[in-house]
Amino acid sequence: MTLKYKYYPNTIKFITEKLKRKFPKIKPKEDLKNMPANLFWMMKRMQSFKDSEKASRWIGWIVVNSEILGVIKNKQSRKLIKKDCKKDNF
């Protein structure tokens, strides 16, 4: 079964796959002390937002922290976000 993402589907899919590869035992959890788990939780949680502006703020935070963790490079994140915005997925 393929997951459908309402907001930023390309970016979320890419980061999710990279997080799972780098942190194989990851479980989504709201916990700032465990950033990989928190990012995974945020990506799932943001899909239920009714406000695309809030989702946009969250994706920025997710991307920056994913870059800090080394799961994505800035050039990749910019390319993915641009692709998602071109499709007008939200």
Which tens digit of pLDDT belongs to each residue from 26-64?
999 999 999 999 999 999 999 999 988 999 999 999 999
Is 41 inside any structural domain? yes
C-alpha to C-alpha distance for 90 and 40, rounded to whole angstroms: 20
**Residue 1 reports pLDDT greater than 50:** no
Residue 3 lies in a domain: no
Task: Look at residue 76 and tell me if it is in a domain.
Answer: yes
> Residues, the chain, total?
90
How many domains, the chain?
A: 1
- Does 43 map to a domain? yes
SS3 assignment, position 4: coil
Question: Do the domain assignments include residue 30?
Answer: no
Domain containing 68 equals 9-23+35-86
For the whole prediction, is pTM greater than 0.85? yes
